[in-house]
Amino acid sequence: MNERISIASEFGQFCADGGQASTFRLARLELLLSTCDKLILDFDGVRNMNSSFANALVAPLAALYPDLQNQLVFANCNQSVRVLLIAAVQLGNSRNRDVVT
């Protein structure tokens, strides 16, 4: 089962509140990742984002789910959003390595 979530519908076109992203991750994303095969976060309509939001939304998932890269998909990202999401996954992976080592 695949699940698609529109980030713009949840947060609007400017995503800048890391606290909201953290709550959303805990309440929705972690549950969905535990129950569906593929989770698609659709960024259509998101014009800009800050690193606090991207890190809060994604980095802990990368630390918690070693197979995240096969389970989570980012769709319709503009270039600036894409860069922040890559940085967030890298941050999560680095923290995961820190925990393991």
Q: How far is the CB of 12 from another protein (least distance, A)?
A: 20
Which residues inside 50-79 make contact with another protein, applying CB under 8 A?
51-52, 55-56, 59-60, 63-64, 69-70, 72-75, 77
Decide if residue 32 touches another protein (CB under 8 A): no
Contact 70, 37 (CB under 8 A): no
Query: Cα angle vertex 26, ends 34, 70, to 5°?
Result: 40
Read off the tokens for 13: 């076109």
Strand, helix or coil at 54? helix
Return left, alpha or beta for 78; rule: phi > 0 is left, psi -120 to 50 is alpha, else beta: beta
CB of residue 8 to another protein, shortest distance in Å: 16
Q: Is 18 or 36 the residue whose CB approaches another protein more closely?
A: 18
Work out the number of other CB atoms within 10 angstroms of the CB of residue 80: 12
Task: Name the site residues for another protein (rule: CB under 8 A).
Answer: 18, 22, 40, 51-52, 55-56, 59-60, 63-64, 69-70, 72-75, 77, 80, 82-83, 85-87, 89-91, 95-96, 98-99
